[in-house]
Each structure stands twice: as structure tokens, then as C-alpha cells.
């Protein structure tokens, strides 16, 4: 993650505004200098990103930094074709046009470069020279990347559960063993277009070939030889769309109040866990949880206190289970926990500990009233159809309430 920046510019008013915006909006620790020689002397401090005014005095500094693969943003008053060609020739990461000083400081380029560190790109091309060139360009955009010389190696990597997650595939068309079209078909047989975008990179300029790739599931097409600016723009746009899709998906799958996954997420994810458990003959436990006397709590103290109780319960539940377990807000004051590869006795132990921790915690109201919250839980580990397992855990949970609440029950 980027945390430090050096700004080299003799426009003190602009750089102070830029520094303030970067520190407040992006939490970047910025150092300012207007003196070229002073800037050279501090490069050994290894700033994460450099923002440098385009002028004759700074060209040497820019070249030194880019030759050491530093992230360099050029500040320029113009973005005409000649200027862009010059900036590209430096090997700079990007540029910011600063001519309209009365407008709000534009930090979108820096936001994008910082966000890029969360992505990993796979490049597949049978030319080592092309792989090196593309790796250099992707590095300059703060994008992690990995290269393969043929489609078979790339497909093997994508199928390996121990491999790093790939967020974007850039693939050449004509390759030995498995060409780009065949690799695209294989990728789409396993990964949806929204989850793993594919960009085709090819010298073939046949409209029918392009449409064939798009129909096979490619997201976009970049002709060879590619224009530097166009390549970066298409990669950036594709990753922006991926981020937007993930944000919308997270919003749909997440409970706003607690931040836990919700019922929509449950029914899209847990059936796969159940199938895997059956196939691998592994144990699976499901727990239904309800906060005791929640309606009375809301009626007496108000919904804001009820919300605090929900948050307190979910925090303790999350602390009580493994990272691989699924903790869901199922609705109202009900939570549901799915524990893959967890035998019945272990699930009971986990819930008994969680129940004790919740009942011993204190919920403070207006810094005066101290309340104890309790839960009732039902546990089933008898693998069946998903709806039947939920119904069984639910029935056990109501049994726990009948037996006095603040306990864990199972008839198994």
C-alpha cells in the first residue's frame, strides 16, 4: 500500500493544495520541494510515489526515477499529443493536467494507482519480449502481474487452488499448444465474465475474429502493436468495471447494520459448501441463533439500543468462529452460522463458548444502564438438503428457548 509521496513543483500554492488533498483523502504522507537539487538529494528516502512538474529542470530527475521503476506522476499544464508522447517516452506512470487551478484538485489518477496494488494481472503471450514489455507497463501502473508463454501453462495456473487470485487476463490470440481463443473458452467454462475479465491482445485485425472472441466471453480487444495510452486506458477501464461490480455485489450480499453477509449471500454460497461436504464426505454443522427477548428490548429501550445489541452479538459470534466459517445475519434478530468440516461435538463446544461470552458481556445504555444479552441456539450436523438442515436447526433453537433460553440445544 502506498503511504508516502514526494511532490516536486515550484508552484507553492498548488502543491500545498495538492498535499492537503492527498493527506486528507488518501492518507498519503507528503513531502514538498520546489528545488530540483534538493529533490535529487531526497530520492534515497524511497518514496512510494513521486509527483513532478514537467519542465526542463526536472527531466533528469524523472529519468533517474523511472529507470529505477519508481511510480512517477507528471504534473503538466497541457495534454496535447506532443506532450503526451514526451511523457510516455519518460516511462512515467501517468500525468495530471493542472492548468485549471481554480477547479478542485484532481487526485483520481493517484486513487487509481493506489487501488491498482490490490489487483493481479495474468499476461499470456508466446513472445518473451512482449511479456517483458507488458510487465514493464503493468509495473509502472502499480499492478502485480505474472506472465506465461502458452495457454496450457496459464490454464493450469488458474485451475490450481493454491495459486494467487487473478483479477484480469490479457491473452494473445496466436500461441502454440493452446491459443487465446481456446483459453478464453476454457476460462469462461469456469469463471463468469463479471468475475474474471479477459482482454485479447492480437495483431489479427479481422472483424470476424474480434467478434468471435467477444462472443466467446472476452471483455475487450486491443490491437497489436498497441498504443501505450490506449492499453493503459483499456486495462484501467476493465479493472474499474470489475471494482464497480464487486462493490454492487458486496452491497447486495451484505447486511448494512452489522456488515455480516446476508440471506442473499447465504443462498448463493452455502449450497456449494454443502455439495463439497457431501462429495468429500466431510462433516458440516449449521447453527441457528436468536437473541432472547429482543422485542422487549426494542420496546423498552428503543431500536437504537436494539441495533447496539445486534452489533455486540455479531462481534462476539465472529470472534468465536474460524475465518473459514460463514456467519450470516439471517433476518431480524436471527443469525445463522455454517461450520464446514466441523463435527457435531465441536460445533456444540463453539456455540456453548459463544453463548457464555455473550451472556457475560455488558451492553451499556446511555452510560447508565447495564444490560445482559443472551442467545438461544440450535445445532444440526446431520447432512441433508439445505432447507431441511435450516428447519432442523431452527426447531432446535426454539427448543432451547422452551428450556429456559441462554443455552445451546441439539436433538442429535
Q: What is the DSSP string of 127-138?
A: -HHHHHHHHHHH
Q: Give domain status of residue 8, yes or no.
A: yes
Q: Provide the whole-model pTM.
A: 0.69
pLDDT tens digits in sequence order for the chain, 412 residues long: 789 999 999 888 888 889 999 999 999 999 888 766 666 665 566 899 999 999 888 888 888 888 888 999 999 988 888 888 888 888 899 999 887 655 567 888 999 999 999 999 999 999 999 999 999 999 999 999 999 999 999 999 999 888 899 999 999 988 888 999 999 999 999 998 888 999 998 877 777 888 888 898 999 988 888 888 889 999 999 999 888 887 777 777 777 777 788 888 888 888 989 999 999 999 999 999 999 999 988 888 888 888 888 888 989 998 999 988 999 888 888 999 999 999 999 999 999 999 999 999 988 877 777 888 999 999 999 999 999 999 999 999 999 999 999 999 998 8
Task: Catalogue the active-site residues.
Answer: 333
Same-domain check for residues 161 and 129:
yes
Is-contact 90 66, C-beta < 8 A?
yes
Q: Give the three-state DSSP class for 213.
A: helix
What would the grid cell of residue 385 be?
Answer: 438438503
Given its phi and psi angles, is residue 259 left (phi above 0), alpha (psi -120 to 50 degrees) or beta? Answer: left
Same-domain check for residues 205 and 127:
yes
Given its phi and psi angles, is residue 83 left (phi above 0), alpha (psi -120 to 50 degrees) or beta? Answer: alpha
Same-domain check for residues 246 and 272:
no
Residue where the block lists cell 509527483: 51
> In 54-209, which ranges are E strands?
71-76, 94-97, 120-124, 144-148, 168-172, 198-202
Q: Give domain status of residue 395, yes or no.
A: yes
Query: Structural domain of residue 333, as residue ranges?
Result: 263-409
Q: Give domain status of residue 256, yes or no.
A: no
Helix (H) or strand (E) holding 379: strand 375-380
Q: Give domain status of residue 111, yes or no.
A: no
Same-domain check for residues 225 and 291:
no
Total residue count of the chain as it appears in this document: 412
Q: What is the pLDDT of residue 287?
A: 95
Same-domain check for residues 157 and 241:
yes
| Longest distance between any two alpha carbons in the chain, whole Å | 82
Is-contact 118 98, C-beta < 8 A?
no
Q: What is the pLDDT of residue 177?
A: 86
| Domain finish residue from 106, 135, 168 | 106
Sign for the CA dihedral angle at 242, 244, 245, 250 comes to: positive
| Domain finish residue from 40, 72, 106 | 106
Q: Give domain status of residue 113, yes or no.
A: no
Distance CA 197, CA 247 (A): 16
For 386-394, the CB contacts below 8 A with 24+ separation are 386/270, 386/271, 386/274, 389/274, 389/286, 390/286, 390/288, 390/336, 393/286, 393/287, 393/288, 393/336, 394/288
CATH code of the domain containing 217: 3.40.50.2300
Alpha helix (H) residue ranges in 172-293: 180-190, 207-216, 228-253, 263-280
Q: What is the pLDDT of residue 357?
A: 93
Same-domain check for residues 79 and 137:
no
Structurally, the chain folds into a number of domains equal to: 3
| Domain finish residue from 106, 130, 153 | 106
Query: How distant is the alpha carbon of residue 204 from its chain centre?
Result: 34
Amino acid at each position: 500500500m502506498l503511504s508516502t509521496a514526494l511532490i516536486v513543483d515550484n508552484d507553492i500554492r498548488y502543491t500545498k493544495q495538492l498535499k492537503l488533498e492527498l493527506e486528507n483523502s488518501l492518507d498519503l504522507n507528503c513531502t514538498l520541494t520546489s528545488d530540483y537539487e534538493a529533490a535529487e538529494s531526497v530520492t534515497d528516502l524511497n518514496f512510494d510515489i513521486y509527483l513532478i512538474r514537467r519542465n526542463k529542470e526536472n527531466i533528469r530527475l524523472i529519468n533517474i526515477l523511472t529507470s529505477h521503476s519508481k511510480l512517477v506522476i507528471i504534473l503538466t499544464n497541457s495534454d496535447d499529443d506532443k506532450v503526451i508522447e514526451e511523457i510516455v517516452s519518460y516511462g512515467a506512470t501517468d500525468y495530471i493536467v493542472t492548468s485549471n487551478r481554480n477547479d478542485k484538485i484532481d487526485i483520481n489518477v493517484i486513487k487509481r494507482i493506489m487501488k491498482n496494488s490490490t489487483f493481479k494481472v495474468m499476461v499470456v503471450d508466446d513472445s518473451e519480449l512482449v511479456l517483458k514489455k507488458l510487465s514493464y507497463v503493468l509495473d509502472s501502473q502499480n499492478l502485480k502481474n505474472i506472465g506465461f508463454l502458452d495457454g496450457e501453462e496459464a490454464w493450469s495456473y488458474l485451475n490450481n487452488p493454491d495459486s494467487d487470485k487473478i483479477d484480469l487476463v490479457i491473452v494473445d490470440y496466436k500461441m502454440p499448444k493452446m491459443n487465446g481463443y481456446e483459453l478464453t473458452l476454457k476460462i469462461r467454462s469456469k469463471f463468469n465474465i463479471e468475475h474474471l475479465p479477459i482482454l485479447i491482445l492480437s495483431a489479427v485485425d479481422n472483424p470476424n475474429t474480434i467478434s468471435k472472441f467477444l462472443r466467446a466471453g472476452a471483455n475487450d480487444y486491443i490491437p497489436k502493436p498497441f498504443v501505450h495510452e490506449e492499453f493503459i486506458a483499456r486495462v484501467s477501464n476493465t479493472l474499474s468495471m470489475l471494482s464497480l461490480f464487486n462493490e454492487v455485489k458486496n452491497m447486495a450480499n451484505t447486511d448494512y447494520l452489522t456488515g455480516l453477509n446476508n440471506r442473499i449471500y447465504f443462498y448463493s454460497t452455502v449450497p456449494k459448501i454443502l455439495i463439497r461436504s457431501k462429495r468429500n464426505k466431510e462433516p458440516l454443522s449449521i447453527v441457528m441463533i436468536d437473541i432472547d427477548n429482543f422485542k422487549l428490548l426494542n420496546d423498552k429501550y428503543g431500536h437504537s439500543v436494539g441495533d447496539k445489541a445486534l452489533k455486540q452479538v455479531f462481534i462476539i459470534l465472529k470472534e468465536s468462529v474460524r475465518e473459514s466459517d460463514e456467519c450470516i445475519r439471517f433476518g431480524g434478530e436471527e443469525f445463522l452460522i455454517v461450520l464446514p468440516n466441523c463435527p457435531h461435538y465441536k460445533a456444540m463446544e463453539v456455540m456453548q463458548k459463544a453463548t457464555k461470552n455473550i451472556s457475560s458481556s455488558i451492553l451499556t445504555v446511555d452510560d447508565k444502564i447495564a444490560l445482559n444479552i443472551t442467545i438461544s441456539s440450535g445445532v444440526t450436523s446431520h447432512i441433508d438438503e439445505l432447507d431441511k438442515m435450516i428447519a432442523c436447526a431452527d426447531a432446535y433453537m426454539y427448543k432451547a428457548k422452551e428450556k429456559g433460553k441462554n443455552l445451546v440445544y441439539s436433538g442429535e
